[in-house]
Amino acid sequence: MSHDEGQTTDERLVYMANQIATFFESQSPQAAAHGVADHINNFWEPRMRKRFFELAESGLFKLKPIVMEALPEIRRPKETTEA
């Protein structure tokens, strides 16, 4: 990062995923996980999802349980879609 203090892109992706999960938390657990996955599928560009999978699978970041439950439903970007 060439500027100070703010989040890195990785931190921001994690933050955004958790923020989405927070909205769906008030719904039933099943609907919540589905809602998170659906939202990320609809609005996240492939390179964001690709990096997000790497972050989620690295275990280094604290993702909310609903996000982890949503993971299988999130579309993995096709390898051909280059970043």
Partner 1 sequence: MCMVNEIDYGTPASKSDRMVTLTIDGKVVTVPEGTSIMRAAREAGIEVPKLCANDMMKAYGSCRLCLIEIEGRNGTPASCTTPVAEGIKVATQTDRLGSIRRGVMELYMSDHPADCPACAEGDCDMVEMAAKVGLTENRYGPNGENHVAPLLHGDTNPHFREQDLSNPYFAYDPAKCIVCSLCVRACGEVQGTFALTVEGRGFESRIAASMDDPFLESECVSCGACVQACPTGALREKTVIEKGMPEWSAVTTCAYCGVGCTFKAEMRGEEVVRMVPYKEGQANRGHSCVKGRFAWGYATHKDRILNPMIREKITDPWQEVSWDEAFAYIAKEFRRLQYQYGKGSVGGITSSRCTNEETYLVQKLVRQGFGNNNVDTCARVCHSPTGYGLRMTYGTSAGTQDFDSVEHTDVVLVIGANPTDAHPVFGSRMKKRLREGARLIVIDPRRIDLVRTPHVQADYHLPLRPGTNVAMLTALAHVIVEEGLVDEQFVRERCDWDAFQDWAEFVLQPEHSPEAVEKYTGVPAEQVRAAARLYATGGNAAIYYGLGVTEHSQGSTAVMAIANLAMATGNIGRPGVGVNPLRGQNNVQGSCDMGSFPHELPGYRHIADDATRAVYESLWGVKLDNEPGLRIPNMLDAAVDGSFKGLYVQGEDILQSDPNTKHVAAGLAAMECVVVHDLFLNETANYAHVFLPGSTFLEKDGTFTNAERRINRVRKVMEPKNKYADWEVTQKMAQALGLDWNYQHPSEIMDEIAKTTPTFAGVSFDLLDRVGSVQWPCNEKAPLGTPVMHMDGFVRGKGRFIRTAYVPTDEKVGPRFPLLLTTGRILSQYNVGAQTRRTANMTWHEEDRLEIHPNDAEDRGIRDGDYVKLASRSGETSLRARITDRVAPGVVYTTFHHPDTQANVVTTEYSDWATNCPEYKVTAVQVSPSNGPTEWQRDYNDQAKRSRRIVHAEPAE
Residues that bind partner 1 (CB under 8 A): 1-7, 9, 12, 16, 19-20, 22-23, 25-27, 39, 41-48, 77, 81-83
Closer residue to partner 1, CB minimum distance, 41 or 60: 41
CB of 28 to partner 1, least distance (A): 9
User: Quick check: helix, strand or coil at residue 80?
Assistant: coil
CB of 57 to partner 1, least distance (A): 19
If you write DSSP's letter for every residue of 1-70 in order, what string do you get?
Answer: --SSSSPPHHHHHHHHHHHHHHHHTTS-HHHHHHHHHHHHHHH--HHHHHHHHHHHHHT-S---HHHHHH
Closer residue to partner 1, CB minimum distance, 56 or 77: 77
